[in-house]
């Protein structure tokens, strides 16, 4: 399973239109590009977090506790508030972002805003809406493909690698792991996601 492709496939015209209205964007194309970049960035961030045994165990524990993948059955309904889950943590986008990006969230918002023309408040709102979907995709993968703490890192890194050639991606991931928080690596990863979206249209 390619997590990024699964998530990109959820970004249909109806969802993008609703997300655009949710964040007050004038252009659905801006929303599409930003959503694609956000997904790629969050998957890359999760890949970084799962690079150690403790990180992988913590991620799988969070998936088992809060993210069974069921929200993918009605993404728009769950993400935009017309439906609720019994577990409030499942849709806690702000909390999920803090765990994935930590102090890099602000830089990521700034970069995506510059790349798409959306303001940072709109980007932040979109990130909060989409973050639960990323964890839901991993929950689905865990159920369908027996993803565990031993192989979740392989799933995530394989998903990132699919967007670029291996040599470029390996250098990029190394820079991501070693990043000092200045946003430059997030810039590259998010741009990969936007290019992937544009190329598949």
Q: Kindly report the three-state secondary structure assignment for every residue of 35-85.
A: HHHHHHHHHHHHHHHCCCHHHHHHHHHHHHHHCCCHHHHHHHHHHCCCCCC
Integer Cα distance of 140 and 131 in angstroms:
15
Give the model's pLDDT for residue 22.
93
Give the model's pLDDT for residue 192.
55
Give the model's pLDDT for residue 185.
54
Give the model's pLDDT for residue 53.
94
Give the model's pLDDT for residue 188.
61
Give the model's pLDDT for residue 56.
95
This model's pTM is above 0.85? no
- Token pair recorded at residue 45: 């961030």
Q: Tens digits of per-residue pLDDT, 133-176? A: 999 999 999 988 889 999 999 999 888 777 654 334 334 444 54
DSSP state of 170: H
Nearest-CA neighbor of 159 among 12, 62, 43, 68? 43
The stretches in the chain having pLDDT less than 70 are: 163-201
Can you say how many angstroms the Cα of residue 92 is from the centroid of all Cα atoms in its chain? 14
Nearest-CA neighbor of 200 among 17, 21, 11? 11
Give the model's pLDDT for residue 165.
45
């Amino acid at each position: 399973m390619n997590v990024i492709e699964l998530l990109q496939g959820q970004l249909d015209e109806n969802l993008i239109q609703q997300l655009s209205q949710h964040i007050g964007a004038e252009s659905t194309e801006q929303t599409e590009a930003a959503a694609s970049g956000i997904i790629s960035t969050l998957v890359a961030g999760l890949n970084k977090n799962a690079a150690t045994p403790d990180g992988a165990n913590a991620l799988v524990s969070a998936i088992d506790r809060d993210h069974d993948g069921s929200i993918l059955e009605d993404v728009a309904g769950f993400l935009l508030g017309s439906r609720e889950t019994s577990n409030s943590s499942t849709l806690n986008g702000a909390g999920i972002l803090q765990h994935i990006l930590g102090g890099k969230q602000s830089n990521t918002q700034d970069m995506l805003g510059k790349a798409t023309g959306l303001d940072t408040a709109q980007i932040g709102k979109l990130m909060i809406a989409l973050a639960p979907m990323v964890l839901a995709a991993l929950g689905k993968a865990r159920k369908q493909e027996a993803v565990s703490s031993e192989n979740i890192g392989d799933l995530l890194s394989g998903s990132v690698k699919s967007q670029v050639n291996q040599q470029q991606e390996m250098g990029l991931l190394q820079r991501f792991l070693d990043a000092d928080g200045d946003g430059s690596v997030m810039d590259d990863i998010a741009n990969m996601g936007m290019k992937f979206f544009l190329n598949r249209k």
